[in-house]
Chains A and B, each alone.
Chain A
């Protein structure tokens, strides 16, 4: 290497290093999402999902299709793991953090997530695992063919200080049955996670469960859209919040047509200084008669400093519907605690038993009563 070439290389390396430092500085200054940052208050998952799919499918290149995992009988049990450590640099380029930036990010890096086309019944659970120690922003796309039954387990794992901002788009065809269990977890003290989900039900049955564990901050925006009579969508969530953690859940059940049903049951056990926020809405479009739609948010408070904000809502523009919504937040029942303690179980263990029992109701409904024991 000549002297000139060596200088040029050193100069290039210095420039690259400076650029990376600049990115790092921007990243350090970037405001992390929290419940006081209004940019993050109102999400539009159904809009994201539509734009996302439109953009991806309209692309000239066919990476999206090439990367799609086809699940059939020969590929029933799948554990797909993606450890996303190399994404930090792309994430640094985000000047602002907000919904639109997030959408852009998803479109840019759609391939970071998995796309599943489930065309035949699968006998075992399809497991998708996203792990990160930095930033991970995967988009998961699940399409289920008509009449097909399947179960998918998505695990978002924030290792150490890892953050995940995920989008998931689910399309279920007529006669199909899909169970999706979404588990977001952190093994550190600063894990944060945001999951935007859009479920488009075209006449099938969908059961969707979210569980958040050990995260300092988690935000969920779930929109369930029902497009055909006979569509049935059930949304569940079961969480135990401890420390200073915040769980901010926003849901919307949209009945575009009549004769479909949706049900939501979100339960939280809130301990220490933790905060649970729930804002739910059922929308019944004009003319969507014979709609069955329910929504229930239940919270058990284990500490005087625990906080719950619950805002269930209805927006009904059709006449013949059966809709209800409800919310209840209360401390643990003293009689139940006394009963358990009177059998020799310590107060703390009794609290844990009752809390687990409170959430077990949700898990049993999702998994089936057989798991109750």
Chain B
């Protein structure tokens, strides 16, 4: 059981091709890091997998536990177990965090079954406490007026509430101070399980020091150009991406 991406080509709708044959397999239970210079296609990969309407798949496949990911709508992919923590979480004025989470959890229940409000709020509050978030955020509109770090924490809160089987974290470390980074990483580490895998997109070693990846991939010009263990992170930290460019 795994997330399998084969020879994926994708482009911005009516625009440039960004992904040029990405192939990748993330088995359950593993944490994979995706690194690469700016503009290499990391965020595009995450958005294409989640079905962002600005991108279109040219060719290639992606399967989630054997299911054709590209045949599913955005919400179906989420309910099938895929989660994306956004690089820039979106503000949704007027929709409270609590209502948003309730709707997301309700969508996962069989038709006719109602979410138990009491246990929902209990879980939400305890998860917020785990992430060091003030409970007043339950009533606040989704990400509206949040600082960069608060938005990232809010995305991780959603991930912890929705308990996906495949989670993509797109530069979740950007905008987080040292303490917040540790808290968020602790949250992610607490979710590591044999039935769950993570794709962590980052530029920096510091996040991967907290969330130790099993496999590290380097994406360059829309293609995976190298796959190795944690030692690749140290190599990149020391020498940057220049040496990889010559290999590509």
> A353 and B103: CB pair below 8 A?
yes
Q: Please, how many angstroms separate the alpha-carbon atoms of A70 and B162 in the complex?
A: 55
Please classify the interface of chain A as helix (H, G, I), strand (E, B), loop, or mixed, using the class held by over half of its residues.
Answer: helix
Say whether A161 faces chain B, with CB atoms less than 8 Å apart. no
What is the 8 Å Cβ interface bit string for chain B, positions 149-189, against chain A (1 contact, 0 not)? 00000000010001000000000000000000000000000
User: Which A residues touch B50, using CB under 8 A?
Assistant: 342
Say whether A72 faces chain B, with CB atoms less than 8 Å apart. no
User: Which A residues touch B52, using CB under 8 A?
Assistant: 338
Interface size on A, residues (CB 8 A): 26
> B74 and A342: CB pair below 8 A?
yes
User: Which B residues touch A357, using CB under 8 A?
Assistant: 92-95, 141
What is the 8 Å Cβ interface bit string for chain A, positions 323-366, against chain B (1 contact, 0 not)? 00000000000111011111111110110011011111100100
Say whether A372 faces chain B, with CB atoms less than 8 Å apart. yes
> A343 and B94: CB pair below 8 A?
no
Q: Which residues of B in the span 56-96 have a Cβ within 8 Å of any Cβ on A?
A: 73-75, 77-79, 83-84, 86, 89-96
- Given the known interface contacts A357-B141, A361-B94, the answer about A344 and B100 at a Cβ–Cβ threshold of 8 Å is no
Say whether B129 faces chain A, with CB atoms less than 8 Å apart. no
> B107 and A345: CB pair below 8 A?
yes
User: Which A residues touch B91, using CB under 8 A?
Assistant: 336
Q: How far is the CB of A333 from chain B (nearest CB, A)?
A: 8
> A339 and B104: CB pair below 8 A?
no
- Option from A344, A356, A361, A373 in Cβ contact (under 8 Å) with B107: A344
> A334 and B53: CB pair below 8 A?
yes
User: Which B residues touch A359, using CB under 8 A?
Assistant: 94
Say whether B138 faces chain A, with CB atoms less than 8 Å apart. yes
The residue on B at minimum CB distance from A267 is B94
What is the 8 Å Cβ interface bit string for chain B, positions 128-146, against chain A (1 contact, 0 not)? 0000000000111110000
Q: How far is the CB of B216 from chain A (nearest CB, A)?
A: 25
- Given the known interface contacts A336-B92, A341-B75, A354-B95, the answer about A346 and B138 at a Cβ–Cβ threshold of 8 Å is no
Q: How far is the CB of A211 from chain B (nearest CB, A)?
A: 16
> A346 and B107: CB pair below 8 A?
yes
User: Which A residues touch B38, using CB under 8 A?
Assistant: none
What is the 8 Å Cβ interface bit string for chain B, positions 181-213, against chain A (1 contact, 0 not)? 000000000000000000000000000000000
> B93 and A372: CB pair below 8 A?
no
User: Which B residues touch A358, using CB under 8 A?
Assistant: 93-94
Q: Please, how many angstroms separate the alpha-carbon atoms of A338 and B75 in the complex?
A: 9
> A342 and B98: CB pair below 8 A?
no
Q: How far is the CB of A48 from chain B (nearest CB, A)?
A: 35
- Given the known interface contacts A338-B52, A353-B99, A373-B139, the answer about A345 and B104 at a Cβ–Cβ threshold of 8 Å is yes
> A341 and B90: CB pair below 8 A?
no
User: Which A residues touch B96, using CB under 8 A?
Assistant: 372-373
> A343 and B138: CB pair below 8 A?
no
User: Which A residues touch B83, using CB under 8 A?
Assistant: 342
Q: Which residues of A in the span 178-207 have a Cβ within 8 Å of any Cβ on B?
A: none
User: Which A residues touch B78, using CB under 8 A?
Assistant: 341-344
- Option from B89, B95, B104, B142 in Cβ contact (under 8 Å) with A356: B95
User: Which B residues touch A354, using CB under 8 A?
Assistant: 92, 94-95
- Option from A345, A346, A356, A372 in Cβ contact (under 8 Å) with B139: A372
The residue on A at minimum CB distance from B159 is A343
> B162 and A343: CB pair below 8 A?
yes
User: Which A residues touch B53, using CB under 8 A?
Assistant: 334, 338
User: Which B residues touch A334, using CB under 8 A?
Assistant: 53
What is the 8 Å Cβ interface bit string for chain B, positions 210-234, against chain A (1 contact, 0 not)? 0000000000000000000000000
User: Which A residues touch B6, using CB under 8 A?
Assistant: none
Q: How far is the CB of B14 from chain A (nearest CB, A)?
A: 15
The residue on A at minimum CB distance from B136 is A373
- Option from B100, B139, B141, B162 in Cβ contact (under 8 Å) with A340: B100
> B94 and A344: CB pair below 8 A?
no
- Given the known interface contacts A342-B84, A344-B108, A345-B107, the answer about A353 and B95 at a Cβ–Cβ threshold of 8 Å is yes
Q: Please, how many angstroms separate the alpha-carbon atoms of A357 and B103 in the complex?
A: 13
Q: Please, how many angstroms separate the alpha-carbon atoms of A207 and B244 in the complex?
A: 65
- Given the known interface contacts A334-B53, A345-B103, the answer about A339 and B94 at a Cβ–Cβ threshold of 8 Å is no
What is the 8 Å Cβ interface bit string for chain A, positions 294-335, against chain B (1 contact, 0 not)? 000000000000000000000000000000000000000011
Q: Which residues of A contact B (CB under 8 A)?
A: 334-336, 338-347, 349-350, 353-354, 356-361, 364, 372-373
Sample of 17 more A-B contacts, CB < 8 Å, known A338-B90, A339-B90, A347-B74: A335-B90, A338-B52, A339-B89, A340-B92, A340-B104, A341-B73, A341-B74, A342-B50, A343-B75, A343-B78, A344-B75, A344-B79, A344-B107, A345-B107, A346-B107, A353-B100, A360-B94
- What are the 7 closest A-B residue pairs judged by CB atoms, nearest first? A357-B94, A344-B78, A373-B139, A357-B95, A339-B90, A341-B74, A360-B94
